[in-house]
Amino acid sequence: MTELLLEAKNTKLVLSENVLAVISKTALNTVSSAFHNGGGIKKTRAILNVEVPKGYANRSLHIDPESLIAESSKKLGFKEEFIGMVTAACVQNFAVVSKREDGIGVSVIATAADNEGNTCNYSESSGEEMKTRAIGGTINIIVVIDGHPNESCLVSTIITATEAKTAAMLELDIRSRYSGDAATGTITDAMVVAETGQGDPIVYGGPASKLGQLVGYCTRKAVKEAITKGQECSPCRSLIDRFAARHLSIEKLAFELSKVKSLKTDKQKLASAISEKVCKDQLFASALLAVIKVNEDFERGLLPPQFSDLSKLGTSFGEVFSSQKCESEPGKTSGAEDVNLPPFLKFALLELARTALSVKEN
């Protein structure tokens, strides 16, 4: 069993097998989305984050999650009522960040990565259409405040912590499983905010308040650390993986470009050539990344009005990085009309593909 003291007096973090818990000698006031004894404002001395054992069926969890919580809580020998969450993440991979300023202390505990290094399997962008029955990818957060925020302030800190979680995901360029959009969370995230009730009353918990700044800082840092404990979402993951997360895999791009007759090659050779260039040529890789990012602005309607001729702009952009310019080559874009990609992405990629193929052939 592992124990760590938190910023709040008489409060500790305990790790025992598949249970990560905050335990306090005195009652904490909490607001949460936890399903076990949570769901609103409650008093408790214990907050449990329980890892779903490997092989535990989604159906079993849906039908009777309370059994898993109850059985797991016995490992701590805690007999009082507690607040409980479940997670698909490995609780051993937790992250904790604490900070104290102006008499207010905050500790944030986050879990995100499982034993296989996966965090982003079920990441999503709130507001998009999703169809799933699986449970996975949970980012669970426990915020412990050594202070005395009122009830509205407690609720406000949930908003602040959620914004900080999303900021951490944006910083790591995590994408939605369902659309490839920038992810705002995962499909089963949960959060508990607890406070000791010590000190002067605190009214504001928004991002500009002192409490909000502490909560935002600790949450953003803890979530980022927890996520990066999974290899899948490492900041150093390959560009090819980052493209695939946008639903723009090298294979998909190669398939579309193979429709251009003037390239005189098939999708396998194209994919191989582009992959090799991305891995070995930093300039080529940065150009392709820039193309993808401009394409995102195009799809969101964010490109300035002067970007009117996207086909010409894409071609010109690609030629900046091209090893050979061949504007007068007959049939240069033959078949490009069949390529199912946005115009800027299509024509910039076409020029970059020519570069990749020419180097491959040489």
224-250 burial, b at 16+ Cβ within 10 Å, e below that, comes to bbbbbbbebbbeebebbeebbbbebeb
How many CB atoms are located within 10 Å of the residue 17 CB? 14
CA dihedral (261, 265, 270, 274) in degrees, to 10, reads -80
Q: What is the pLDDT of residues 175-221, one digit of tens each?
A: 999 999 999 999 889 999 999 999 999 999 999 999 999 999 999 99
d(CA 20, CA 10): 17
Is the CB of residue 321 less than 8 Å from the CB of residue 274? no
Helical H runs in the chain? Answer: 58-63, 65-73, 151-171, 210-228, 239-245, 250-257, 267-280, 282-299, 310-320, 343-361
Q: Which of 84, 23, 8, 25 is nearest to 52 (CA)?
A: 84
When pLDDT is averaged across residues 333-358 and rounded to a whole number, the result is 86
DSSP string, 50-64: EEPPTT--HHHHHH-
d(CA 136, CA 118): 9
Query: Tokens 């992810």 correspond to what residue?
Result: 183
Q: Which CATH number is associated with domain 2-233?
A: 3.60.70
Q: What is the pLDDT of residues 148-165, one digit of tens each?
A: 999 999 999 999 999 999
Tell me how long the chain is.
362
The yes-or-no verdict on residue 112 having pLDDT over 50 is yes
Q: Which residues pair with 149 in a beta bridge?
A: 202
Separation in Å, CA 39 to CA 220, 287, 321 = 23, 48, 55
Is the CB of residue 87 less than 8 Å from the CB of residue 138? yes
169-198 burial, b at 16+ Cβ within 10 Å, e below that, comes to beebebbbbbebbbbbbbbbbbbbbbbbbe
- Which helix or strand (DSSP H or E) is residue 32 part of? strand 19-32
The yes-or-no verdict on residue 85 having pLDDT over 80 is yes
Q: Which of 334, 284, 288 is nearest to 314 (CA)?
A: 288
229 or 158: whose pLDDT is higher? 158
Which pLDDT score is estimated for 328? 41
The yes-or-no verdict on residue 135 having pLDDT over 70 is no
The yes-or-no verdict on residue 86 having pLDDT over 70 is yes
Q: What is the pLDDT of residues 285-313, one digit of tens each?
A: 999 999 999 989 988 889 888 888 888 88
Q: What confidence tier does 330 reach under pLDDT thresholds 50, 70, 90? A: very low
Which pLDDT score is estimated for 17? 93
Phi, psi of 169 (to 5 degrees): -70, -40
